Homo-oligomer: A and B are copies of this chain.
Amino acid sequence: MRAVDLIRRKRDDGELAPDEIRFLVAGVTSGAVPEYQWAALLMAIVWRGMNAAETEALVDAMLHSGTVIDLSDLPGPKVDKHSTGGVADTTSLILAPVVAACGATVPMVSGRGLGHTGGTLDKLESIPGFRVDLDLDAYRRVARECGLVLAGQTAEIAPADRVLYALRDATATVESIPLITASILSKKLAEGIDSLVLDVKCGDGAFMTRPEDARALATSLVTIGRGLGTPVRALLTSMDEPLGPAVGNALEVREAIACLRGTGDASLAELSLELAAEMLLVSGAADDIESARARCRRAIADGSALERFRRVVIAQGGDGRICDTPDTVLPRAARVELVRAGRTGFVAGRRAWPIGQASMLLGAGRSTVDSRIDPAAGIVLRRRVGDPVRDGDVLAELHVNTEHAHALAAATELLVTAFRIEAEPVPRPPLVLGRL
């Protein structure tokens, strides 16, 4: 079997067999198939696509390129949620303890932020002492003790994806539904889960800006995941405006704790609980969506979700007092500048992309994979679409330290252009656009 012949077949719109895909994936991990051959193959896949059988084989080969964690010795269902990424998308920190409090285990392997999107690992690392680099033993132990674990991808998990992800980034071959499907599922199915909920974001601040593309990606993820024997459900959710009010790492942790206390932002709490309910449903921990929602709300109301969060923070080396007095534990920026409305009316638009960019400029995100994150930096949004606003009202707070103070003017400008204020009231847009 020669890689060049397989590249040629895909180039000519042919189909690759499962053993051929295994050969190629094994080759990228071992180095037997050079990166330049994979780069050409990736572009041919962007061009020609992959059918369901090929995509399943690709997920399976990438999944088995490394360790597939087995948590079957833990009681009850093991379920996770994956989001395709957005701005102020803090749901993971809320839904994981909620689902754990409802009796399922949430073994969550997350990533870091890049560009205008945030990453769960960066948010967690804003908690003093919190460690995300767990070895396999620690991962199992935390999952067993807490009912959830919040870790980073280790070298053992889907090493083929690590190589291919970096290669796709450098070769403009990210935008391919089968390749995105394989990257997401190979990592998630290696975590030790037996079911999965996907939050496929759509809109200005999402990877997929058009609803039809987001739906196609969600369909692929659900179809391929189920084809591999894992129950998968997907929500299509709006990322035209940032989901929650906080953009930036410590700011989002603070907001997540507020939601776990029942005093947080309504939209962020609503979507977090909706995803948590879907997790109970897909994992078999609940029989219908209504009873699942009720259990999730109860886990907030009775404090059991917050207690789970406290437990995992402590188990992963963090300061548990964060659950009681987050403002004294979390880092805070030296300056807070205010962005105000220039007219009276109603917020008709609050674009996620420029807000994510502004947050990155303030130090909360990465412009390149090597950028250093300022955990305290970011933005707190004080108005959302549909809200009335008066001339001079505060639209947003910009939290910044000296190191990034030079970016304040640009960030302010981005915020001003992100908000659109009109005279007539605008209905609040739905959070959930569809379900698969």
The interface size of chain A toward B, counting residues with CB under 8 Å, comes to 24
Q: Which of B5, B8, B36, B173 contacts A38 (CB 8 A)?
A: B36
Task: Give the CA-CA distance A40 to B172 in the complex, in Å.
Answer: 8
Residue in A3, A47, A171 whose Cβ sees the most chain B Cβ within 10 Å: A171
B46 adjacent to A171 (CB under 8 Å): no
Residues of chain B with a CB closer than 8 A to A38's CB: 36
B43 adjacent to A47 (CB under 8 Å): yes
Main secondary structure, interface of A, reads helix
B172 adjacent to A8 (CB under 8 Å): yes
- Please report which residues of chain A, range 24-40, place their CB below 8 angstroms from some CB of chain B when the two chains form the complex: 34-40
Residues of chain B with a CB closer than 8 A to A261's CB: none
B40 adjacent to A173 (CB under 8 Å): yes
Besides A34-B35, A34-B170, 7 more A-B contacts (Cβ < 8 Å) are: A4-B169, A7-B43, A35-B39, A36-B38, A37-B39, A43-B43, A44-B172
Q: Which of B4, B167, B173 contacts A172 (CB 8 A)?
A: B4
Q: Which of B7, B35, B46 contacts A36 (CB 8 A)?
A: B35
Closest to A42 in B: B40
Residues of chain B with a CB closer than 8 A to A5's CB: 172
A11 at the interface (CB under 8 A from B): yes
B4 adjacent to A170 (CB under 8 Å): yes
Task: Give the CA-CA distance A171 to B167 in the complex, in Å.
Answer: 15
B7 adjacent to A37 (CB under 8 Å): no
Copies of this chain:
2
In the assembled complex, 21 residue pairs joining A and B whose CB atoms fall closer than 8 Å, in A order, are: A7-B43, A7-B171, A7-B172, A11-B46, A11-B172, A11-B173, A34-B35, A34-B36, A35-B35, A36-B36, A36-B39, A36-B167, A37-B170, A39-B39, A40-B40, A40-B43, A40-B172, A40-B173, A43-B43, A44-B47, A47-B47
Task: Give the CA-CA distance A170 to B6 in the complex, in Å.
Answer: 11
Task: Give the CA-CA distance A3 to B169 in the complex, in Å.
Answer: 11
Task: Give the CA-CA distance A305 to B46 in the complex, in Å.
Answer: 54
Task: Give the CA-CA distance A183 to B79 in the complex, in Å.
Answer: 54
Residues of chain B with a CB closer than 8 A to A7's CB: 43, 171-172
Task: Give the CA-CA distance A38 to B4 in the complex, in Å.
Answer: 15
Residues of chain B with a CB closer than 8 A to A167's CB: 36
B37 adjacent to A171 (CB under 8 Å): yes
Residues of chain B with a CB closer than 8 A to A171's CB: 4, 7, 36-37, 39-40
Closest to A45 in B: B43
Lowest 9 CB-CB distances: which A-B pairs, in order? A40-B171, A43-B43, A8-B172, A36-B39, A39-B39, A7-B172, A35-B36, A39-B40, A40-B43
Task: Give the CA-CA distance A67 to B42 in the complex, in Å.
Answer: 34
Closest to A174 in B: B8
Task: Give the CA-CA distance A44 to B172 in the complex, in Å.
Answer: 10
- Please report which residues of chain A, range 141-184, place their CB below 8 angstroms from some CB of chain B when the two chains form the complex: 167, 169-173
Closest to A9 in B: B172
Residue in A7, A36, A37, A170 whose Cβ sees the most chain B Cβ within 10 Å: A36
Task: Give the CA-CA distance A36 to B38 in the complex, in Å.
Answer: 8
Closest to A46 in B: B11
Task: Give the CA-CA distance A43 to B46 in the complex, in Å.
Answer: 10
A173 to chain B, nearest CB (A): 6
Residues of chain B with a CB closer than 8 A to A173's CB: 11, 40
Task: Give the CA-CA distance A37 to B166 in the complex, in Å.
Answer: 12
A370 to chain B, nearest CB (A): 15
Task: Give the CA-CA distance A96 to B39 in the complex, in Å.
Answer: 42
Task: Give the CA-CA distance A43 to B169 in the complex, in Å.
Answer: 16
Task: Give the CA-CA distance A249 to B28 in the complex, in Å.
Answer: 40
Residue in A5, A37, A172, A173 whose Cβ sees the most chain B Cβ within 10 Å: A172
Task: Give the CA-CA distance A44 to B44 in the complex, in Å.
Answer: 8
Residues of chain B with a CB closer than 8 A to A37's CB: 39, 170-171
Residues of chain B with a CB closer than 8 A to A3's CB: 170
Task: Give the CA-CA distance A167 to B35 in the complex, in Å.
Answer: 11
Task: Give the CA-CA distance A430 to B5 in the complex, in Å.
Answer: 35
Closest to A173 in B: B40
